[in-house]
Amino acid sequence: MRRVRLFDKTFKTFIPYEDIEKAIDKVAEKINADFSGCQDIPVLLCVLNGSILFTAELMKRLTFDCEIVSTKLSSYSGTASTGKVRQVMGLTADITGRRVIIVEDIVDSGNTIVELRKILADKGAAESYVCTMLLKPDACRKDISLDYVAMEIPNDFIVGFGLDYNEIGRNLKDIYVLDQEDGQ
């Protein structure tokens, strides 16, 4: 088991890259089945910064034409959610009348998804779907529907494959969990 040190915390391997790839393959297969033969060009909404790697890997596996749009929201400080979602950067394109697949790295409290769906409705999206790489069912406090979930995980703090601890660790290929044996 590999360990990495980020600032004052130690993390240990939790989900190896090979398992991440398999989960992305499965979720892409479901999306391809649902959007097969679509006449429109759906939008993949990459929620920055965390979902960059997931969005890139997912796009490579999609077999229908799609456009990528980005937005940036924030609700974390350190290892905890602040409970308040703020829009840091607006949508990078007009989504009026378009079908939008929100591509999120992780859904925990559900606050970000609720806010994103509100933003998309206000901007005139025809429909919105949610695709998340990771879901923490024990942390979700909102009544939200998720259309595509690659993996469910416990309510632990994780980093890697796009997820960060105070903006570092996103570049790690595997996903790591906080190492409780390190006394933190």
87 lies in a domain? yes
What pLDDT is stored for residue 85 in this prediction? 79
**Is 151 within a domain?**
yes
Q: Is residue 168 part of a domain?
A: no
For the chain, 184 residues long, the average pLDDT of each consecutive 10-residue run is 95 98 98 97 96 98 97 71 75 96 95 93 97 95 93 97 95 95 60
pLDDT confidence of residue 79: 56
Residue 63 maps to which CATH number? 3.40.50.2020
Residue 179 domain flag: no
User: How many CB atoms lie under 10 A from the CB of residue 25?
Assistant: 13
- Side-chain half-sphere CA neighbours of 29 within 13 A: 7
Say what the pTM is.
Answer: 0.92
Task: Tell me whether residue 10 is in a domain.
Answer: no
Could you give the CA distance from residue 43 to residue 65 in angstroms, rounded to a whole number? 9
CA atoms within 13 A on the CB side of 85: 19
Residue 164 placed within a domain:
no
Domain count along the chain: 1
Active site residues: 108
HEC sequence for 38-80: CCCCCEEEEEECCCHHHHHHHHHHCCCCCEEEEEEEEEEECCE
What pLDDT score was predicted for residue 90? 85
In angstroms, how far is the first alpha carbon of the chain from the final one?
A: 18
Residue 181 inside a domain? The answer is no
What pLDDT score does 81 carry? 59
Range of the domain at 143: 17-156
For residue 152, is it within any domain? yes
